[in-house]
C-alpha cells in the first residue's frame, strides 16, 4: 500500500507529526511518501490546491491512500470529495477514523489540524491514525450487517464514478492560475510522472484525422480485415460521405482500444443499420471499462446526429447488457456456419 501524506500550507508545522505518525501505524509493508507541505517550502498551497493534487495522485494511482488535513479538516474533506476518484472522510476522533475505514472504505482521510479549530492534541491525533489503520479497510460495521454495508459502499462508489468527469477533463476546466500554482509542487508532479498510471484519452478519427493510418493498421492487427477496408471506411467519414465514425482509446499516443460504426457488419439483415463493429481492447488494458466507454461514446455521438437505434453482432452473452444493449434477434453472418446474436441500443 502506498500512502501519501500532504496537507495545506497553513498547517505546515504539523507535517512532520503527520508523516511520522502515519509511518508508525501504516500497515506492514506499506510505503509512506511525504509530499509536505513543510515549513521550508517557498510556495504556499491552500486546501483547494492540495485537493487537486490529491485528485491527481489518486486518479493516476501513484498512491493508494492519502492522509491530509487543513485547519478545520472539513474544508479539505469537501474539496477532496469534489475531485474525480476521491472518496474522502473526516476524522476528528479515533472512532470516526475507524468507522470510515470499515464502512466507507475510502482512499483519503482529512484531519482537523488547527489549534483554534477542533484540534485536540497529539494524543488524540496518534490514536486517530492508529484506529484508521488498525484493521484492513472495508470490513463493514456492525458485523451483523457487514455484507449489506459493503454492497452499499460499492454502490456509492459506482454512483460517484458515473457522476464525475475524468481528471484530465477537470484540469482543462478549472482556473488556469490554480493549475499554474499546483504545477509548482514539483515533488508531487514528478512523483506522478514517475509512478502514476497515465490517464487514458478517447478520440474519434473525425477529431484527429492524422491517426487514421495507424488506426487502420491497429484494427487490421486485431481482426485480420485488410487495412484498405478500414481506410476506405475512415475516408468516407472524413470526406462527409457518411455520418459514421471510428472511436479510439489512447494511452498517450498508443491505441489500446477501439471500435467503428459502419452500415452493415457482414450479415444478412441489411435493414438493421448502422452497426457497431470491431470492438476490441488490448488484453493488458482490459477490466478498466474501456470498451464500455467506447460503446457509450459511439451511441451518444450517433444519437447527436439523429441516428438511433444502433446495432451490433456478437457471440458474447452478458457483456453488452451492462451498457444498455438488448438482444434483438439472430442473424446469419456472411460465410459463417452458424447464426450470431444481434443486439440493439435504442
pLDDT confidence of residue 118: 77
pLDDT confidence of residue 157: 86
SS3 158: helix
Distances (CA, A) of 323 to 13, 276, 345: 49, 13, 9
What CATH number is associated with residue 228?
Answer: 3.40.630.30
- Whether residues 191 and 205 share a domain: the answer is no
Domain count, the chain: 2
Instruction: Please tell me the distance from the alpha carbon of residue 258 to that of residue 281, in angstroms, as a whole number.
Output: 7
SS3 67: strand
Burial class of residue 58 in the structure, from the number of CB atoms within 10 Å of its CB (0-12 exposed, 13-18 middle, 19+ buried): buried
The parts of the chain modelled with pLDDT lower than 70 are: none
pLDDT confidence of residue 211: 97
The angle formed by the CA atoms of residues 138, 144 and 148, to the nearest 5 degrees, is 55
Instruction: Please tell me the distance from the alpha carbon of residue 201 to that of residue 142, in angstroms, as a whole number.
Output: 41
Instruction: Please tell me the distance from the alpha carbon of residue 274 to that of residue 334, in angstroms, as a whole number.
Output: 17
- Whether residues 210 and 180 share a domain: the answer is no
Using the 3D structure, point to which of 195, 216, 240 is the last residue of a domain: 195
What CATH number is associated with residue 14?
Answer: 3.40.1400.10
- Whether residues 28 and 124 share a domain: the answer is yes
| pTM given for the model | 0.64
Instruction: Please tell me the distance from the alpha carbon of residue 252 to that of residue 255, in angstroms, as a whole number.
Output: 8
| Residue recorded with cell 467506447 | 294
C-alpha cell, 95: 472512532
- Whether residues 122 and 252 share a domain: the answer is no
pLDDT confidence of residue 323: 93
- Whether residues 115 and 156 share a domain: the answer is yes
pLDDT confidence of residue 198: 75
Q: Which domain holds residue 14?
A: 2-195
Instruction: Please tell me the distance from the alpha carbon of residue 7 to that of residue 343, in angstroms, as a whole number.
Output: 50
pLDDT confidence of residue 252: 83
- Whether residues 178 and 324 share a domain: the answer is no
- Whether residues 17 and 155 share a domain: the answer is yes
- Whether residues 151 and 17 share a domain: the answer is yes
- Whether residues 222 and 156 share a domain: the answer is no
Amino acid at each position: 500500500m502506498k500512502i501519501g501524506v500532504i496537507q495545506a500550507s497553513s498547517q505546515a508545522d504539523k507535517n512532520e507529526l503527520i508523516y511520522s505518525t502515519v509511518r508508525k501505524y501504516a500497515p506492514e509493508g506499506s510505503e509512506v511518501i511525504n509530499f509536505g507541505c513543510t515549513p521550508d517550502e517557498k510556495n504556499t498551497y491552500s486546501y483547494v490546491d492540495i485537493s487537486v493534487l490529491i485528485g491527481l495522485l489518486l486518479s493516476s494511482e501513484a498512491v493508494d491512500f492519502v492522509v491530509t488535513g487543513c485547519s478545520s479538516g472539513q474544508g479539505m474533506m469537501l474539496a477532496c470529495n469534489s475531485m474525480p476518484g476521491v472518496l474522502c472522510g473526516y476524522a476528528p476522533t479515533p472512532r470516526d477514523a475507524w468507522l470510515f475505514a470499515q464502512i466507507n472504505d475510502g482512499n483519503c482521510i482529512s484531519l482537523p489540524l488547527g489549534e483554534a479549530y477542533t484540534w485536540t492534541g497529539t494524543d488524540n491525533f496518534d490514536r486517530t491514525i492508529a484506529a484508521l489503520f488498525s484493521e484492513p479497510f472495508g470490513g463493514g460495521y456492525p458485523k451483523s450487517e457487514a455484507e449489506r454495508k459493503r454492497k452499499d459502499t460499492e454502490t456509492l462508489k459506482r454512483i460517484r464514478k458515473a457522476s464525475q468527469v475524468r481528471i484530465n477533463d477537470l484540469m482543462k476546466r478549472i482556473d488556469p492560475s490554480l493549475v499554474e500554482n499546483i504545477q509548482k509542487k514539483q515533488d508531487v508532479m514528478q512523483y506522478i510522472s514517475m509512478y502514476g498510471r497515465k490517464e487514458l484519452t478517447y478520440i474519434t478519427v473525425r477529431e484527429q484525422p492524422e491517426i487514421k493510418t495507424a488506426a487502420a493498421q491497429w484494427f487490421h492487427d486485431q481482426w485480420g480485415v485488410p487495412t484498405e477496408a478500414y481506410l476506405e471506411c475512415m475516408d468516407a467519414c472524413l470526406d462527409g460521405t457518411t455520418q459514421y465514425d471510428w472511436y479510439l482509446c489512447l494511452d498517450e499516443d498508443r491505441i489500446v482500444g477501439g471500435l467503428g460504426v459502419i452500415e452493415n457488419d457482414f450479415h444478412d439483415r441489411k435493414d438493421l443499420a448502422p452497426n457497431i463493429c470491431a470492438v476490441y481492447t488490448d488484453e493488458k488494458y482490459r477490466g478498466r471499462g474501456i470498451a464500455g466507454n467506447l460503446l457509450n461514446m459511439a451511441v451518444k455521438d450517433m444519437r447527436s446526429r439523429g441516428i438511433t437505434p444502433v446495432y451490433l453482432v456478437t457471440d458474447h452473452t452478458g457483456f453488452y447488457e451492462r451498457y444498455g444493449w438488448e438482444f434483438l434477434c439472430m442473424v446469419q453472418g456472411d460465410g459463417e456456419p452458424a447464426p450470431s446474436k444481434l443486439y440493439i441500443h435504442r
